[in-house]
Amino acid sequence: MKDRIVLAYSGGLDTSVAIGWIADATGAEVVAVAVDVGQGGENMETVRQRALGCGAVEAYVADARDEFADEYCMPTLKANGLYQGHYPLVSAISRPVIVKHLVKAAREFGATTVAHGCTGKGNDQVRFEVGIQTLGPDLKCIAPVRDLALTRDKAIAYAEEKHLPIVTTKKNPYSIDQNVWGRAVETGYLEDIWNAPTKDIYDYTATPEFPPAPDEVTITFVQGVPTALDGVAMSPLQIIQDLNRRAGAQGVGRIDVVEDRLVGIKSREIYEAPGAMALITAHKHLEDITIEREHARFKAGVDRRWSELVYDGQWFSPLKRALDVFIDDSQKYVSGDIRMVLHGGTAVVNGRRSDTSLYDFNLATYDTGDTFDQSNAKGFIDIWGMSSKVASTRDQRVAGE
Ligand code: ARG
């Protein structure tokens, strides 16, 4: 029997050509696996048929939309996951779920090797291969674009020569990756970091300059996870989709950054993540009233480290798992409602309520009903400032000697 290779198939030119390219280079049979993480666009059955038309011996579509929302987007929300404070980890969190399905398919279809279409300059190759090594240590990995010299020009020539059922166009300046959590656009004209993104780059968001009337939304959370919009119960997937539509219409969640890739390159990225950014903002505000001060300060550091690990392809690592336990525990009281206004590119919180809130009106108020004993403040400040005061006295003495 011929060796089998499972290919992570997107339906695009590169991975369509990779089917025949891999078969020619290795003599193996190629099984195409497409994972639906809510990327939208084409019908997945069309994608599956294309893989067969391009020479795959088997083609399989995994509908991972709910799994992705529940097990990848929700942990990211609990961690307020923003790499370098900006990027909501759109591609970084989709790779591990794709890997899970690739490894599963490799077992089911008797493959020894897994292939992906990443280049040698990005983070995604790392995320795929570290994931595959972790979940399937016996599996080999190949990357035709990187290891079998499949360039874009060669891909176009190959597709035309073999009459592959795919549209080949030389003019596709951007590298785009998208799923329900957001959309990433890079390369081309954007590589000059002084160039402003043009309108055609955006797809999930309308231009925020001319927004429709403000849209007020109430998001209900239970233990860090959104469970309803405006009182209507929905799944995490439905909530993300609905907020993508509503926040997207207001131009919320456009991000333009230069970020540090794991391979040491700084790269310009345009992201749009309307639902994710609205949810992260709301979640953070709910944490502000439900998590105790020291716990919250510490969690901010954990959140940052969690985001770096996930960005760096360490989704399945022991440290990431341990931080998940901390983060899950921190969400015990993060339940309640956040009201926010989506308008003109912003998602602004204007109300919050929670049965497990730590906000104490009687402690905070300056009006009658104040239960805070202000006479304690003076002694507290004297002791709180003591060590600095002692040090300062020493500094002045030494300076005067
Ligand atoms: N720079 C982002 C990341 O590493 C986005 C990558 C998007 N991938 C792509 N093939 N366009 O997560």
CA 41–ligand 1 middle distance (angstroms): 18
Domain of 113: which CATH number? 3.40.50.620
* CB distance 187 to 268 below 8 Å: no
CA 305–ligand 1 middle distance (angstroms): 19
Radius of gyration of the chain (CA): 25
Whether 298 is covered by a domain: the verdict is no
In this prediction, residue 168 has a pLDDT band, given cuts at 50, 70 and 90, of confident
Residues 33 and 41: their CA atoms lie apart, in Å, by 17
Tell whether ligand 1 has an atom less than 6 A from the beta carbon of residue 15. Answer: no
Percent of the chain scored above 90 by pLDDT? 94
pLDDT at residue 369 in the model: 87
Do 167 and 181 lie in a common domain?
no
Residues 168 and 9: their CA atoms lie apart, in Å, by 17
Whether 311 is covered by a domain: the verdict is no
pLDDT at residue 324 in the model: 98
Whether 309 is covered by a domain: the verdict is no
Q: Which residue has the tokens 């307020």?
A: 80
Helices 293-311 and 274-290: crossing angle in degrees, nearest 10, is 150
pLDDT at residue 188 in the model: 86
Choose which residue among 93, 124, 183, 257 to substitute to test ligand 1 binding: the one with the highest number of ligand atoms within 8 A of its C-beta: 124
Do 18 and 135 lie in a common domain?
yes
Do 262 and 147 lie in a common domain?
no
Beta strands 225-229 and 232-233: pairing type? antiparallel
**125 token code pair:** 């190759």
Told to judge if 124 belongs to the known catalytic residues of this protein, a careful annotator would answer yes
CA 57–ligand 1 middle distance (angstroms): 29
Whether 303 is covered by a domain: the verdict is no
Check whether 368 has a pLDDT greater than 90. no
Check whether 170 has a pLDDT greater than 80. no
Tell whether ligand 1 has an atom less than 6 A from the beta carbon of residue 185. Answer: no
Tell whether ligand 1 has an atom less than 6 A from the beta carbon of residue 91. Answer: yes
Residues 356-365: what's their mean pLDDT? 95
Domain of 251: which CATH number? 3.90.1260.10
Tell whether ligand 1 has an atom less than 6 A from the beta carbon of residue 30. Answer: no
Whether 12 is covered by a domain: the verdict is yes
Instruction: Give, in order, the Cα–Cα distances in Å from 380 to each of 201, 307, 375, 376, 385.
Output: 55, 37, 9, 6, 9
Told to judge if 328 belongs to the known catalytic residues of this protein, a careful annotator would answer no
1 vs 304: which has the higher pLDDT: 304
Domain boundary among 172, 187, 203: 172
pLDDT at residue 378 in the model: 96
Told to judge if 94 belongs to the known catalytic residues of this protein, a careful annotator would answer no
Whether 310 is covered by a domain: the verdict is no
Do 156 and 199 lie in a common domain?
no
pLDDT at residue 171 in the model: 66
Contacts of 172 (CB under 8 A, 6+ apart): none
Told to judge if 200 belongs to the known catalytic residues of this protein, a careful annotator would answer no
Please tell me the total count of domains within the chain: 3
pLDDT at residue 355 in the model: 98
Choose which residue among 83, 255, 267, 269 to substitute to test ligand 1 binding: the one with the highest number of ligand atoms within 8 A of its C-beta: 269
Tell whether ligand 1 has an atom less than 6 A from the beta carbon of residue 184. Answer: yes
Domain of 108, in residue numbers: 4-172
Do 366 and 348 lie in a common domain?
no
Domain of 379: which CATH number? 1.20.5.470
pLDDT at residue 122 in the model: 96
Per-residue pLDDT of 120-147, as tens digits, reads 999 999 999 999 999 999 999 999 999 9
Do 225 and 269 lie in a common domain?
yes
pTM: 0.97
Residues 335-341: what's their mean pLDDT? 98
Q: For residue 184, what is the enclosing H or E element?
A: strand 182-186
